[in-house]
Amino acid sequence: MSDVVETHELTMRFGGVVAVNNVNFNLRERELRCLIGPNGAGKSTFFKCLTGQLPLNHGNGRVFIRGSDVTGWRAHEIVRLGVGIKTQVPSVMNGLSVEENLWLAARRIHGWNGTAGAAEEIIAELQLGDFSKRLVGELAHGQRQLVEIGMVLVQRPWLVLLDEPAAGMTGDEVERLAKVIRRINQTASVIVVDHDMEFVRMLGSNVTVFHQGAVLLEGPCDHVLSDEKVREVYIGTRAK
């Protein structure tokens, strides 16, 4: 199968700090991949490079999405390829209701007439109906996370990039989210950045471990989590 995401020697420096260091990364069609690593490992910076949130030039290496060289593209141009992006901190429109947030997310894809229906489908799927008329700013953190995921899904992307989607969610919400992500993965490739090991195990996907801005190890979840080097740099004594 062809690669959906490909990076060639991706590098990002902030002054003297190398946050991402010559990363070569590949994601295949319909693959679910988790990016893990300790704080400061560079996974979120890598994520921002992929999504166009950090401006790149050819000195930073190359990023390809389904064969298109998207190096230096703006975030909205990358999204328009069919990419859904969820950021680390819930990035929602607090002054609008849940319905309005979803409407705005759906509008570009579904047209004026189909938008309301598409938003309602997502409300039903993610069980957001109880608070769909409330302002998003009034919701709990986990509920806002779900709204943001709904905003990504309603665009029917073929590549979904999720940065810490389970942060701040209750146990039930995390389980529901894992099911949703597996459902998304039936039709789309997915990259999940997270450091909640339970959640990563729940997804049971291939895992890429970041350490000091570089890829330390890649492989199936169980294999990676039992690796000595990984345990040493990231998991330590907690991974038992």
Partner 1 sequence: MITAWRSIGGVRWGWFIAFALVLLLLPLVYETHTPTVLLIWALFALSLGFMWGYAGILSFGHSAYFGLGAYVYAIAAVNIGESTLPLILAVFIPACVAAVIGAMMFYGRISDVYMGVMTLVVSLIMFKFMNATAGDQYAIGAARLGGFNGMPGFPTLNVPGAPHISLWGVPTYYVCAVSLLICYLLCRWILARSFGRVLLGIRENETRCELLGYNVPACKTAIFTISAAMAGLSGCFFANWAEIVTPSVFSLQTSSDVIIWSMVGGVGTLIGPILGAMALGMVKLLLGQQTLINNFLVFGFILIVVVLAMPRGVIPSIQYWWGNRSRRSRVPSNGGRARRRLTVKPAERS
Stretch that binds partner 1, among 63-71, 96-104, 187-195, 230-238 (CB under 8 A): 96-104
User: Whose CA is closest to 154, among 115, 193, 210?
Assistant: 115
Positions 46 through 65 that interact with partner 1 (CB under 8 A): 51, 53, 55
Amino acid at 99: E
Positions 125 through 184 that interact with partner 1 (CB under 8 A): 133, 148, 151, 155
Distance CA 7, CA 47 (A): 11
- Give the H or E element holding residue 189: strand 189-193
Q: Compute the least distance from the CB of residue 59 to partner 1, in Å.
A: 19
Q: Does residue 61 sit in helix, strand or coil?
A: coil
User: Whose CA is closest to 68, among 78, 57, 59, 76?
Assistant: 78
Q: Which is nearer to partner 1, 6 or 163 (CB)?
A: 163
Q: Compute the least distance from the CB of residue 103 to partner 1, in Å.
A: 6
Q: Which is nearer to partner 1, 91 or 187 (CB)?
A: 91
Confirm or reject binding of residue 197 to partner 1 (CB under 8 A).
no
Q: Compute the least distance from the CB of residue 85 to partner 1, in Å.
A: 5
Confirm or reject binding of residue 85 to partner 1 (CB under 8 A).
yes
Strand order in the sheet with 68-69: 17-28, 3-14, 62-65, 68-69
Stretch that binds partner 1, among 56-64, 107-115, 138-146, 210-218 (CB under 8 A): 107-115
- Could you give the residue ranges of the DSSP H alpha helices within 24-163? 43-51, 75-79, 98-125, 141-153
Distance CA 96, CA 62 (A): 37
Distance CA 179, CA 77 (A): 29
Confirm or reject binding of residue 116 to partner 1 (CB under 8 A).
yes
- E-strand ranges in 138-188 read 159-163
Q: Which of 35, 41, 49, 99 binds partner 1 (CB under 8 A)?
A: 99
Q: Compute the least distance from the CB of residue 53 to partner 1, in Å.
A: 8
Backbone angles phi, psi at 83, to 5 degrees: -105, 135
Confirm or reject binding of residue 35 to partner 1 (CB under 8 A).
no
Q: Which is nearer to partner 1, 58 or 76 (CB)?
A: 76
Which residues sit at the interface with partner 1, rule CB under 8 A?
A: 51, 53, 55, 74-76, 79-80, 85, 87, 91-97, 99-100, 103-105, 107-108, 112, 116, 119-120, 133, 148, 151, 155
